[in-house]
Structure 1
């Protein structure tokens, strides 16, 4: 009951309290939390039949929290292909050191995260060009000259002499070159140097001496 002679006083809200809420659920990352604040219908409170405060005495909102980025640790990407350097030899079995690498980009370390653990490069030795090397042929020394039949029994006669060699000191192998030059040689040589008679027959040694004496006497006369 309203007391006669009293003036009604309608209720009024106090100031809102500070926002309060639980701590953030993590120390980093794009997170949020619910916070609330309150007020009371005490400034002034309703008196003598005055109306109560209108509206809500509590508010709840969502706020971001801990907006710092979380550390991101680095992870390795896939290994790249092995490189292909030239072989140390073109044949006969060589070797080469091959190399491959990987990058710390999957993801790269960020915001204080750790670098990738392990090696960024890897190398190993590989055999290469293991096929046989070409071997070029090498001649033997020339053989003895072989004499063939003289072309005549007297006078200016000749005969053919020949000699040969073989490509066998080292036979060509694995695509090597054969021996350069000729396998056989031939040459003409004089033979049967004694003179022939008027009939064309070979002269005897005595006949030749008589002719030489007669020729000498004829010169003296």
Structure 2
């Protein structure tokens, strides 16, 4: 798992990148939780999502947003972090130009950034949003949501109450042309303590199902 450094809008960005063996393999980008609350690319859920994509042959990148770890810059309340995510996707596309598609996965704050990137980049064909902070950030930009994906959260999440996530899911499910799957993990809090394995089982099963529906999946 090579360490990589690439240039972002605020300077150097630190990441971990796993190339794909198949030149047509899809790209996976994994986004970490809130930088001001200890979120880094080495978060347990981010790490596990990274390996979920790697095991399925993706070219996959996780990275530190500006001001985290060895990434330069300072926290920018989401706007700069979205620019970082766009730069990360650009960088992987230069390394892996023949990729036929891209997936975005994010946890908490990273899920919010990922959904914004989804709106800007038509090549993103699928998403996995883990505990999207629907009560803390505005998701009204998803009008309409351009791609199908999975929203997964715990039923005892005290950071993002289930009713707020449910309202987001219900809104997205009214849109035509996409399918938003929802998984609720019983007994899971916002950080999925003692439930990370269950979380990853659900995410992996969902990704396998979507890849099986793609004729030349990796």
* TM-score, with length taken from structure 2: 0.16
Kindly indicate which of the two structures has a greater share of residues assigned to helix.
2
Q: Structure 1 length normalisation: TM-score?
A: 0.16
